[in-house]
Amino acid sequence: MTATALETGRKRLWAGESGESVSRNLILAGVLVALLVIGAITQPQLYGDSAWVWSNVLSILQLASVVGVVTVGMTFVIIGGGIDLSVGAIVALAGVWSTTLATQSFGAGGMIFTAIVVGIAVGLVNGFLISYGKLVPFIATLAMLVAARGLAASISGKQTQISSSDLINGIASTKLLGIPILVYILAAVAVAGWVLLNRTTFGRRTVAVGGNPEAARLAGINVKRHTMLLYALSGLCCGIAAIMLTAQATSAQAAMANLYELDAIAAAIIGGTLLSGGRGTIVGSVLGVLIFATITNLFAINGLSTEAQNMVKGGIIVAAVLVQQFRFQSVTRLFNRKP
């Protein structure tokens, strides 16, 4: 019976992947194109120069790269039925820890190792508190948000730590075949995330755990361990993002990656990830991040204020959730009959 439950769950996931979520992602891609068209209409003289258009596309991709990597991890956590409010703080902590003078003395390899291990370790602590300490994810990661920033501030002595590693800084300033390395990293993380979610048992377990943890447990999934791993995965993404952000800013400080948790959650939500878990796509999340980056770019090239930009972003989040709710209600009415 449990096998059948999983089997139907899987079928529904695949049906969703080929049907509903693809159409949703096409809509998002359409929004993205529309934003670019608005840019072209409002700034025809800039968009008339093809070299500028290419550099602008790369600039949007670079702007999206760091938050994009964080969002991939966040998408897994949310699909798995959780939430990670500590991602910005983890990025800051991993960034600061990997740029202390002691770490920098080990060179770029040491810095990357440190950022990734710190990210995973903090994620594991989050996961442990949530799985085995039975803390609500919201509370556990909120506590981690405060604590990790505190630790970052105490390690850095509230100073900005300059990265003197040319190799690290080069991640943000080097291009391969005309495309910045940061964009390759985002692409690699997104592809890895897509494969992990759609082509492995880990991914299917994530959907099962988020959709109905009790059913997943009865089906033989170790829900606690799986939940812990999801937060570790989010931490890993934060560690990678910390290296990217340090490279971009050529430095790290405790206040960096401010409010990235909101950017990542918002991108995942407008990308179609269900906040209650059990559904979501990596493609949608990445499109969500790109939409936000394009809005920032659109406001910048038109010289509009940051306040207006934030209000528009807020409006888009609300609109996306409203649309999602209506669609979801109609879907649940069909599938979700209570016993």
Q: Decide: is 162 part of the binding site for another protein (CB under 8 A).
A: yes
- Output 4 or 45, the one with its CB closest to another protein: 45
Determine the interface stretch with another protein among 12-20, 69-77, 94-102, 279-287 (rule: CB under 8 A).
Answer: 94-102
CB of 117 to another protein, least distance (A): 5
Q: Is 178 exposed, middle or buried (0-12, 13-18, 19+ CB in 10 A)?
A: exposed
Q: Decide: is 27 part of the binding site for another protein (CB under 8 A).
A: no
- Output 159 or 325, the one with its CB closest to another protein: 159
DSSP state of 265: H
- Output 25 or 246, the one with its CB closest to another protein: 246
The only residue of 72, 172, 190, 286 in contact with another protein, by rule CB under 8 A: 172
Cβ atoms within 10 Å of 199's Cβ, excluding its own: 10
Q: Which residue has the tokens 């002691």?
A: 102
- In the shown chain, the binding pattern of residues 114 to 153 toward another protein, with x for contact by CB under 8 A and - for none, equals x--xx--x-------------------------------x
The only residue of 75, 103, 234, 281 in contact with another protein, by rule CB under 8 A: 103
Q: Of 233-262, which residues contact another protein (CB under 8 A)?
A: 245, 248-258
Q: Decide: is 156 part of the binding site for another protein (CB under 8 A).
A: yes
CB of 72 to another protein, least distance (A): 19
DSSP 58-125: HHHHHHHHHHHHHHHHHHHHHHTT---TTHHHHHHHHHHHHTSHHHHTTHHHHHHHHHHHHHHHHHHH
* Cα–Cα distance for residue pair 338/163, rounded to 1 Å: 56
- Output 103 or 324, the one with its CB closest to another protein: 103
- In the shown chain, the binding pattern of residues 31 to 70 toward another protein, with x for contact by CB under 8 A and - for none, equals ---------------x--x--x--xx--x--xx-------
DSSP 193-248: HHHHHHHSHHHHHHHHHHH-HHHHHHTT--HHHHHHHHHHHHHHHHHHHHHHHHHH
Q: How far is CA 222 from CA 120, 178, 306, 324, in A?
A: 20, 45, 45, 30
Q: Of 175-234, which residues contact another protein (CB under 8 A)?
A: none
State the number of binding residues for another protein (CB under 8 A).
Answer: 52
Cβ–Cβ < 8 Å for 84, 77: yes
Q: How far is CA 224 from CA 36, 128, 221, in A?
A: 43, 8, 9
Query: Which helix or strand (DSSP H or E) is residue 2 part of?
Result: helix 2-18
CA distance between the termini of the chain? 16
Please name the amino acid found at residue 232.
A
Q: Decide: is 166 part of the binding site for another protein (CB under 8 A).
A: no
- Output 206 or 251, the one with its CB closest to another protein: 251
Determine the interface stretch with another protein among 9-17, 73-81, 184-192, 298-306 (rule: CB under 8 A).
Answer: 298-306
The only residue of 22, 135, 301, 323 in contact with another protein, by rule CB under 8 A: 301
The only residue of 100, 198, 212, 222 in contact with another protein, by rule CB under 8 A: 100
- Output 168 or 216, the one with its CB closest to another protein: 168
Phi, psi of 251 (to 5 degrees): -170, 170
Q: Which residues bind another protein (CB under 8 A)?
A: 46, 49, 52, 55-56, 59, 62-63, 97, 100-103, 106, 110, 114, 117-118, 121, 153, 155-162, 169, 172-173, 245, 248-258, 296-297, 300-303, 305-307
